[in-house]
Amino acid sequence: MLIGAAASTALALSHLLVIVPMLPEPDEEEVGSEVLALKPRYRSLVTARRTATLALIAALCGGMSAMSPAWGRGLWWVWAGSALTLIAVDQATTFLPRRLWAWCLIESLLALAGGAAVVGLPASVLAATAALAVAATVPFWLMWRLGGGLGFGDVRLAGTMGLTGAALGTTGWALALFAAAVAGALLAIGITIVRRFRPSPWGPVFAYGPALWVGPWAALAIFSL
């Protein structure tokens, strides 16, 4: 539990303090000048409050990862730390930077390979895990293509979510997707209600990433009962 908490906290803080300030800003031609005028600069996201909040959440969730299978714990450390920082950026800016997501993906794959090597995980389980990760992107890709309010960054994040949830098996993977969908619906309803009374310069746009991040944790909590 302590190892997971320490590893996740280290990942979260290293991403927030080192990688996030160096992220390139979105191109004005791609997103528009009005969006860039609203969006906080990535370097401005490194604040004492955000640093402390991420450290606390990463430590708590990293400790919770002890309830996951031994071979998949590294995946959960990345989800509790690196992915948490990505979600914090999304929450603050409504952007999921590709470079930051790529770090999360690479770390997840390395963690998966390391865990599999340590316990001697069969190749069939690795193949199934990868297949479930790809399958997790399908419903979100369809929502993106049909104009369901998602960005392609959410589609990429869904694959990483599926990879993490797959460490709990097919049932855990399905629970993670279901929980993320429910969390997303509740988030959308809540934000819509709040913005009726407190309009936002973002209009109807909101960060969907937090809902995706919650999904695997809800599945892990259910599995631990």
pTM of the predicted structure, to 2 decimals: 0.94
pLDDT in tens, the chain (225 residues): 899 999 999 999 999 999 999 999 988 777 777 777 788 999 999 999 999 999 999 999 999 999 999 999 999 999 999 999 999 999 999 999 999 999 999 999 999 999 999 999 999 999 999 999 999 999 999 989 987 678 899 999 999 999 999 999 999 999 999 999 999 999 989 988 888 888 776 667 789 999 999 999 999 999 887
For residue 200, the model assigns a pLDDT of: 72
* Helix or strand (DSSP H, E) at 158: helix 152-165
Residue type for 90, please? Answer: D
Separation of first and last alpha carbons in the chain: 17
For residue 148, the model assigns a pLDDT of: 67
The count of other CB atoms within 10 Å of the CB of residue 11 is 24
Tokens linked to 220: 């892990």
How far is residue 33 from each of residues 36, 39, 90, measured CA to CA in Å?
5, 10, 19
The count of other CB atoms within 10 Å of the CB of residue 121 is 18
